[in-house]
C-alpha cells in the first residue's frame, strides 16, 4: 500500500495549503492552482456540503452500510469530486454514497478531487496528461477514464480519440471498476494483473469473485490459469483441458505460514513431485529490507 500512503501524505499537504487564507485558490490562474487541479486532496468532511440539486435523494441503507464496512477495511479507493464554493468550503459533485458512508464510520477526512473556477480545460489537460504516465496501475487509469467521461461529459468514443486508445481498450479498463474493491486493491498493489482482472469480471457475484481471487493469489495462477478457473466455475460440467492443478498439501500449508511470518502475500508454485518456487512480493526498498531482516532473524 506504499502508493496509497504516498498519495494520502501528499493530499494532507495540499489540504493544509487550501486552509491557508493567504493562499486561497479561486481560479486556475492563482498561485499553486496547478498543485490542486488533477491531484487528490485530503479534505475534512465537515468542510463539504451535499449538492442541493443532486437528483438522487434516497440511498439504500443496507448497501450504504456495506460500503461503509468496505471503506473501514480498505479506505476510500475512488476519491469523491467536489466544487470549491468559498474559502475552505466545498460542494459535492459526485461520490455522495462514499461521502455518506465515510461519515457513517466517523472518518474526519476523505480523498477528493477539487474543481475550481474556470478549470474545465485545465482539468481535461491534467487528466489526459496523467493517463499518459508510465507508472499508473490499471485501476488508476480506469478512474481517470471515468473522471473524463463524467466530468468532461464525453462519450467513450470521444475519450478513445482524446487518449489515443481503441474504444475496446477504454471499455476494458472501465469494466475493472465493477470488480470488488478488495480485488481492485490487489491489482493496485500488484498482486494480480489487468489480465487477471478481466477474467474475474466475468463472474458477476462479488463474493464468488473473491473466492476465485484468493485462489489466484495464493497459488500464483497465471492469467491463462485464471481464465480456465473462471470457465470451469461458470460451466462446472465442462472440464477444461487447462484445468488448474491444486497445490500439494505441504505447499498449501506453507503458503499461509510464510505469509504470516513475513507479513506479505507469499505465493508458491509446486508440481506433483514437489518441485517449485516461492514468490515473496515487496512494496518498496524499505519493505524489502524488512522482509530480509525477518528471514535473517529466523536463521
For 234-275, the pLDDT digits (tens) are: 877 554 444 445 667 777 777 777 777 777 877 787 776 677
Q: 152, 169, 191 — which closes off a domain?
A: 191
Residues 6+ apart with CB under 8 A from 106: none
Residue 19 lies in a domain: yes
Active site residue 161: no
Kindly state whether residues 103 and 156 are assigned to the same domain: no
Kindly state whether residues 152 and 96 are assigned to the same domain: no
**Structural domain boundaries, residue 270:** 249-297
CA dihedral 161, 162, 165, 166 (to 10 degrees): -30
**Parts of the chain with a pLDDT under 70:** 1-13, 51-58, 117-123, 125-126, 129-130, 133-134, 237-247, 272-273, 298-299
Q: 96, 116, 136 — which closes off a domain?
A: 116
Alpha helices, H only, 201-239: 206-218, 223-234
Kindly state whether residues 49 and 93 are assigned to the same domain: yes
Residue 72 is predicted with a pLDDT of 92
Kindly state whether residues 7 and 35 are assigned to the same domain: yes
Burial (0-12, 13-18, 19+ Cβ within 10 Å), 53: exposed
Kindly state whether residues 45 and 102 are assigned to the same domain: yes
Kindly state whether residues 187 and 257 are assigned to the same domain: no
Give residue-wise pLDDT tens across range 52-97. Answer: 655 455 577 888 899 999 999 999 988 998 888 888 888 887 788 8
Q: 116, 144, 164 — which closes off a domain?
A: 116
Give the separation between CA 208 and CA 70, rounded to whole angstroms.
16
Kindly state whether residues 106 and 23 are assigned to the same domain: yes
Q: Which of 61, 73, 96, 214 is catalytic?
A: 96
Phi and psi (nearest 5°) for 241? Answer: -65, -20
Query: What CATH number is attached to the domain comprising 111?
Result: 3.90.1530.10
Kindly state whether residues 4 and 66 are assigned to the same domain: yes
Residues 6+ apart with CB under 8 A from 71: 98, 101, 102, 105, 107
Residue 109 is predicted with a pLDDT of 94
Residue 148 lies in a domain: yes
Q: State the Cα angle at 78 between 2 and 263, rounded to 5°.
A: 30
Confidence (pTM) = 0.50
Residue 5 is predicted with a pLDDT of 39
Question: What is the number of domains present in the chain?
Answer: 3
Residue 93 lies in a domain: yes
Kindly state whether residues 52 and 108 are assigned to the same domain: yes
Residue 136 lies in a domain: yes
Kindly state whether residues 155 and 186 are assigned to the same domain: yes
Kindly state whether residues 90 and 142 are assigned to the same domain: no
SS3 114: strand
CA dihedral 95, 134, 286, 1 (to 10 degrees): 20
Kindly state whether residues 18 and 82 are assigned to the same domain: yes
Residue 127 lies in a domain: yes
Amino acid at each position: 500500500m506504499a502508493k496509497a500512503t504516498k498519495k494520502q501524505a501528499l493530499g494532507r499537504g495540499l489540504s493544509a495549503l487550501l486552509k491557508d487564507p493567504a493562499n486561497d485558490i479561486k481560479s486556475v490562474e492563482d498561485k499553486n492552482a496547478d498543485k490542486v487541479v488533477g491531484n487528490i486532496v485530503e479534505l475534512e468532511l465537515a468542510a463539504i456540503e451535499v449538492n442541493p440539486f443532486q437528483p438522487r435523494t434516497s440511498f439504500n441503507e443496507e448497501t450504504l452500510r456495506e460500503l461503509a464496512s468496505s471503506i473501514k477495511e480498505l479506505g476510500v479507493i475512488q476519491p469523491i469530486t467536489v466544487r470549491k464554493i468559498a474559502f475552505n468550503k466545498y460542494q459535492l459533485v459526485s461520490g455522495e454514497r462514499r461521502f455518506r458512508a465515510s461519515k457513517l464510520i466517523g472518518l474526519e477526512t476523505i480523498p477528493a478531487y477539487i474543481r475550481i473556477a474556470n478549470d474545465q480545460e485545465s482539468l481535461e489537460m491534467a487528466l489526459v496528461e496523467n493517463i499518459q504516465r508510465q507508472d499508473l496501475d490499471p485501476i488508476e487509469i480506469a478512474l481517470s477514464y471515468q473522471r473524463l467521461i463524467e466530468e468532461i461529459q464525453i462519450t467513450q468514443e470521444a475519450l478513445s480519440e482524446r487518449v489515443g486508445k481503441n474504444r475496446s481498450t477504454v471499455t476494458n479498463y472501465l469494466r475493472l471498476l465493477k470488480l470488488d474493491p478488495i480485488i481492485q486493491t490487489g491489482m493496485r498493489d500488484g498482486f494480480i494483473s489487468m489480465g487477471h482482472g478481466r477474467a474475474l469480471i466475468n463472474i458477476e457475484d462479488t463474493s464468488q469473485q473473491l473466492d476465485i481471487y484468493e485462489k489466484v493469489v495464493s497459488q500464483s495462477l497465471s492469467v491463462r490459469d485464471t481464465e480456465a478457473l473462471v470457465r470451469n466455475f461458470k460451466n462446472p460440467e465442462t472440464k477444461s483441458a487447462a484445468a488448474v492443478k491444486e497445490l500439494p498439501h505441504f505447499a498449501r500449508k506453507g503458503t499461509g505460514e510464510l505469509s504470516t511470518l513475513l507479513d506479505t502475500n507469499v505465493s508458491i508454485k509446486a508440481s506433483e513431485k514437489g518441485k517449485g518456487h516461492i514468490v515473496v512480493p515487496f512494496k518498496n526498498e524499505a519493505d524489502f529490507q524488512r522482509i530480509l531482516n525477518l528471514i535473517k532473524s529466523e536463521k
